[in-house]
Amino acid sequence: MNENGSISESSPYDNFVGQKDQSVSLPTLDDFIDIESVDDNPDWKKHWTGMPEFIQEANAPYKLINVRFRNEADYIEFAKLICQNLTEKTKSIWYPELDKSGNSLKRWIEE
């Protein structure tokens, strides 16, 4: 320990504070997947033969509005008027209420 109370270094070291090592780069998805081998080996295509075409329809809302409530009583009254269960965590709703299970029973069946 020095006279001023600090400890002196016992060996020299390199101070890289504020410097970035350019030789090290973070891995990307391409580092884990060999895209060339997937394209060269089209075995996956035989599994998709005869499958129905799928088109994802846009499900954009007709109109989107923000509603502000002066107090909790107004919020509860609004929930009753639209017949939906709104909680403190509710961020958005569909009106009329969206049937989330409408497509849950649809299955692809092959004979």
| Count of CB atoms situated within 10 Å of the CB of 84 | 15
Structural domain count, the chain? 1
Buried b / exposed e along 5-36 (16+ C-beta atoms within 10 A):
eeeeeeeeeeeeeeeeeeeeeeeeeeeeeeee
Q: For residues 68 and 60, is the Cβ–Cβ distance under 8 A?
A: no
Residue 25: half-sphere exposure toward Cβ, Cα within 13 Å = 5
Amino acid identity of 30? D
Residue 58 lies in a domain: no
Residue 90 lies in a domain: yes
pLDDT, tens only, 2-58: 777 777 777 777 777 777 766 777 777 777 776 665 556 667 677 777 777 888 888
pLDDT, tens only, 71-107: 999 999 999 999 999 999 999 999 988 887 777 777 7
Residue 74 lies in a domain: yes
Model-level pTM?
0.43
Residue 86 lies in a domain: yes
Phi, psi for 36 (deg, rounded to 5): -60, -40
Residue 72 lies in a domain: yes
Residue 30 lies in a domain: no
Tokens standing for residue 102:
């409408």
Residue 53 lies in a domain: no
User: Could you list the residue range(s) of the whole structural domain that residue 79 is in?
Assistant: 63-98
CA 80 to each of CA 25, 44, 83: distance values in angstroms, whole numbers, following the listed order: 56, 52, 5
